Structure formats: C-alpha cells, structure tokens
Amino acid sequence: MPTYSKVTRHGQITLPALVRKSLGIEEGDLVEIEVIDEKAMLVPKRLIDKSQAYFWTKKWQEGEKEADEDIKAGRVKVFDSAEELTRDLKQV
C-alpha cells in the first residue's frame, strides 16, 4: 500500500513512521537514493568505522564463513592455557 509525503521547502520530505520502521531507519541514518525508471529507490546505509572496514572485505567474510562451518562440524579444539595451545601447535 503506498504512503505519501509532501515535498517541502528545499526539496525535503519526511519519511512516514511506517516506512522508517519497516526499513529500520533511525534519526541520523544515511539513505542512498537512486533514480530508476523515473522512480526514487531509497536504501538505508550504515557507516563503518575505517578501523573495522577489513571485517567486511570479501576475503575476510569468506574466512568467517569457513570458520563458522568448522565450528558447526566440530572441527575445533579448546585449550585451557596458552602453553597447551603452543604444545599442540608444535606437534603439527
């Protein structure tokens, strides 16, 4: 069901509460706006701190997925101390 919002001075609009809620948009969030076939597409965006950007690289995410699969399959070891871990690593 469409909702409507009036364009005010300086081209501003208010996103109706139902739209904000369904898209998870909060005050201060960024919204990407793209025009597609005479329609405006709004996509909520989040900023990532530069120091954390590595986590969202394709390579890192592939590693995360692999680690999750190893954990689910039980291919993990638990150590009670760093010394125990070091002994295990030396056996490899």
pLDDT in tens, 6-41: 999 999 999 999 999 999 999 989 999 999 999 999
pLDDT in tens, 53-83: 999 899 999 999 999 999 999 999 999 999 9
CB count in 10 Å sphere of residue 85: 13
Quote the pLDDT of residue 46: 84
Amino acid at 63: G
Four-CA torsion 60, 61, 63, 67, nearest 10 degrees: 140
Burial class (CB in 10 A: 0-12, 13-18, 19+), 25: middle
Cβ-contact 60, 54 below 8 angstroms: yes
Q: Where are the domains of the chain?
A: 9-45, 50-90
Fold annotation for 9-45:
Pemi-like Protein 1; Chain: D (2.10.260)
